[in-house]
Amino acid sequence: MATRASVSQTRQSLEEANIVATQEHPSDARQRHLVLTKGGSVLIRRLKPLWQAMDAAALEVAAAAGDVVAALDRLDAVLTRQSMFERIVEKLPGNGADSRTPRKKS
């Protein structure tokens, strides 16, 4: 989640890099608008082929590997219900289900 501070820091970094400029809102002094500078526009034009290549490569990998995002979502849901740590501790001798059953005396 983006915090107000992180958004402000990102805005400041983009301004210092001459990628965006801040314009004040004409009727509300609390608002500011970010606009691309000429340098920002040039940067986007230069990076667009890279982004397109990255998208194409990611789609290719996803097609070859199956729906990786769905698999990761399922994995996340399983681990949200019970973490890997909890599962391991449960399997250790003396913990989990085996600790609830009485042991036979020899």
Contact 39, 24 (CB under 8 A): no
55-64: which pairs have CB atoms within 8 A and are 24 or more residues apart? Answer: none
Is 106 among the domain residues? no
Structure tokens belonging to residue 98: 């085996």
Q: What is the chain's pLDDT, residue by residue, as a tens digit (106 residues)?
A: 789 899 999 999 999 999 999 999 888 888 889 999 999 999 999 999 999 999 999 999 888 888 888 889 999 999 999 999 999 999 999 886 555 555 555 5
Is 17 among the domain residues? yes
Is 62 among the domain residues? yes
Domain count, the chain: 1
Is 55 among the domain residues? yes
Is 50 among the domain residues? yes
CATH number of the domain to which 72 belongs: 1.10.10
